[in-house]
A and B are shown apart, each in its own frame.
Chain A
Amino acid sequence: MSEVLNKTELNQWHVDHGGRMVPFAGWEMPVQYPTGPLQEHKVTRESAGLFDIDHMGQIEVRGPQAEAFVNWLVTYDVSKMKLLDAHYALFCYADGGVVDDLFVYRLPDPQVEGQDYFFLAVNASNRDKDVAWVKSHAAGFDVQVKDISDETYMLAFQGPRAPEIMDRLTNVDLTRVARFTAAQDTIFNGVPVLLGRTGYTGEDGFELFLPAEHVLKVWEGILKEGENENIVPVGLAARDSLRFEPCMPLYGHELSPDISPVEARLTFAVSFDKAFIGRDALLKQKLEKPDKVLVGFELTDRGVAREGYPILLEGEQIGFVTSGMFSPTTSRYLGMALVPREHASIGTEIEVQIRKKTTRAKIIKRPFYVPAYRR
C-alpha cells in the first residue's frame, strides 16, 4: 500500500539540495538537509534558519459575527486582540480534550474598508479535521469560513539574526513590529506577504504567509540575503528539536483529545472568563486540579526516552513519555511526560523504561531552553 503524498511548491528545490524526503502528515517533506539536523538546530539558535511549513493549514473567518464565532471556538479571548495581533490558542472539545492548537491573527480586511477578519494557522496533520470542526459550528453565526491552505504558502524564518535579515527585505520597519503582532507588506518586487512575529522554535523571527506561486523567489531570496549570516534551510528533525527545548507542545504528543490545555500547562492561552467550547470542563479541571500533568525530565543516565516509553516510580508505571530526545543546545538527554500531579514536583526521581532497561531520571523545571520572548 502506498499513500499518495502531497508535495509543496518547494519539493524539487529540497530534492535538488539534498533534502532527505519523508512522509509527514500526508506530505512529502525534508526531514533534513546534508549537513544534518544537529547543525541545522545550532545555526537556527545562533543565526537563523528557514523552514518550509506549507503543509500547515490556514482558515479565514469573515463576517459581522467573526469575533463572536472565533471566540466560541478558541480558548483565548480574541476580543482582547487588536488589529494585527497574533495569539496562540486551542480548539477544544466539550470535555476539554484538544482538537488542535493554532495561531489566531486579527487582520484588516482588504475586501472591505474598515472591516477586520480572523486568520487561523493550524497544524498540517489536523487541517481537514479543523476545517470541518470550524464549519460544523458556523450555523447560527453570520460568518463565512474559507480554507485558504492551498493558495497560501507558509514559511518560517527563525533565529536571532532573522529580524535584521528580514528587515533588509521589507518596506515596513520590522523593529517596530513587536512580538506576537504582524505586518502586511510586499517583498521582492511586489510579493504580498503577511509577516507574523511568531514562531515555534523559541527564537525571535517570523512566520510568513504569501501567495504560493511566488514562493521560490521568496525562499531563494531570503537564503541569498542571509548568506553572510550563514543561514540554512531546516528540516523536520531540527524543527522538532527546536520546539522541544522551549517545551512548546506538539499536537499528537503533548496535546490530544485525551490531554487538555490545563494538563499540558497552557492556561496562558485559556481565557476562563468567557464562553467557549470546553470551558466548563477546563474550569472544573483547573479548580479541582488535574489528575495528571505534563512535566519535563532529565535522564540521569544516558539514553534517549522516546515517545510512549513508560515512566516508572519505584518500579510501578505512573505515566508515559510524550516527547524525548537528545537536546542539542543543552547536550542533555531530556523528555516531557504526562504523570500524576502528586508525582510532578521538581526533583522527583523517576525511571524511564527504555526497551528492557530502566533508566534513572529526575523531574526538572520547564522549559529546558528559555524562549527569546521571555529573556
Chain B
Amino acid sequence: MATISTIRKSISITPGFLAWLAFIGLCLLIGIITAIAVFTEGLVITNMSDTVPWGLWITIDLSAIALGAGAFTLSALVYLFNIKNFRPIVRLAVLVGFIGYTSALLTLVMDIGRPDRFWHPWVFWNVHSVLWEITWCITIYLTILVFEFAPVVGESRLFARWPWVRTVAHLMHKVAPALALIGLFISLLHQSSLGATYGIVKSRPIWFKPSMPIMFILSAVAVGPALTMAIGIIIEWVTGKKKIPDKTIRSIARFSGFTLLAYAYIKFWDLAAATYYGNTPGINSAFELLNQYTPYQFSFWVLEVILGIVIPAIIFIFPRFNKRPALLVLGALLAVVGILFNRWNTTVTGLYVPLSYSPGTLYQSPIGAYSPNFVEWGIAIGIIGYALLMITLGVRFLPLFDQKTTH
C-alpha cells in the first residue's frame, strides 16, 4: 500500500548516505578488532583493576538499559493506559529499546571474565542475587521486545512475498497489550534492580541506601522516552518527511520533563538525607575523599543535575521551548549525558572510595584510580556503531511509523 511505495521511493544511495555507512563501518571495525583483542588477551588489557573492577563498560550497560526504557514506558502508556497520543512513536520506541538492551548484552559479554560461560545464570540459579534477577529479566524482556517488534518486521516489504508472515505478524499485534503488561512488570523489576545492585552493597556507604533503585527507575523512565523522541526528530530531519505529529512529540517532552522533576525531587531528599540532616561518618568521609581527589562536585552538580536534569526539564516543560524540535533534541541529548554521568558517578566514583575494614585506620588502602583506556573506548565505539547501524537499517527497511495511525 502507501507504506510500501514510500519506503521504496526513499531508497536511494546518496554520497551522504555512503559516507554515513562508511562511518558506521569504521566504528564496527574498531569494535570488532578490539573485541578480538579482549577475547584473546583477557581483561588485563583494560584499565580496570581489583580496586576499580567495574568501569566504562558497566557504565555503558547501565546507561543503555536506562535509555531503552522508552520501550516499556511508551508501550505501557499506549496499550495499557490507552493514551493514543503516543501511538505514532511506539514502534520506534520498541526498536530503540531493543537496540539498547542488545547493546548492553554485547558490552556485558565483553566485560565478564568468562564470556564462554555467559549462559550460567540461566542454569545455575542464585535467587538471592539481584544480578541473577537482572539477567533473567533482561532475557525475558528482550524476548518480549522481539515479539513486540515482530509485526513491524513482518509488515516490511522484505516479506511481501510470503503473505503468511504478515498474517502471523498481525496476530502478534493483537497480543500487544499482554506483551506491554508483562513488559511493564519485568521492566519495573529490572530497571530498579540495576539500582539495587549498588543499593544493597552494605560495605560501601555511599551506595547503601534504599533510594538507589527508585532513582534508577525514575531516571530511566524520564530519559528513555526523551531519547526515542530525539531519534524520531532526527529521523524526520534526515528523511525530510514529517512522521510524528507535533502533539505526540510535545506530549513526550512534557512527560519526560515532569518525570525528570520527580527524579530531581527524590535526588534532592536523597542528598539531604545523606549529607544535610544526618552526619553519617561513613558517608561523610567518603564524600570528603571524593571531593578532595576527584571532580565529584563538578560531575555531580554541573553534569548530572544542571545539564542532565534542570536544563532538559525546562526545555521539555515550557511551551516556548518545547515547540522547537532542535531544542528538544538538545534537551534529550543533555538528559542522556546526565544519565551517563549519573551511572558513571555511581559506579566508578563509588568504587574510588576504599573499603574501610581495618581495625586501626579508616582507609587502609589508597583511593582508587581509573580512566578507561583505548581498549575500553574501542568497544564503546563498536557499540555505538552497532546502535547506529540498527537505527539506519530500521529507518531504511522497516515501516517504523505506522502510517495508518497517524493523521
Pairing of A with B: no
